[in-house]
Amino acid sequence: MSDEVKPDRPSNSPVRVVQLVERILALHESEMDCESCGQQIDCLAELVAVGQDPRLLLPAVQAHLECCRDCREEFEALLCILRAEQSGQF
């Protein structure tokens, strides 16, 4: 019999998903600088603007914002714009 039943794809495994997330977070923690922070800052601002907790979603970006004034000012400016857009939609 050559038609063996193939096992489920590994992507269905929750362990694999956790490993991927951990790897992404580790990468961001070690490589977070103003440039990579800036690439995610608009994403983070959008999440915060809709009421999500940035410390849970993008902890490395949040950590960088807390110790980098330049990026925090950019973040707050973005957040202001997003909130103004939101209130303009009413």
Q: Which residue is nearest to Zn ion (CB)?
A: 68
| Site map 45..84 versus Zn ion, x via CB under 5 A | -----------------------x--x-------------
**Whole-number minimum distance, CB 70 to Zn ion, in Å?**
5
HEC secondary structure over the chain: CCCCCCCCCHHHCHHHHHHHHHHHHHHHHHHCCHHHHHHHHHHHHHHHHCCCCHHHHCHHHHHHHHHCHHHHHHHHHHHHHHHHHHHHCC
> Which residues sit at the interface with Zn ion, rule CB under 5 A?
34, 37, 68, 71
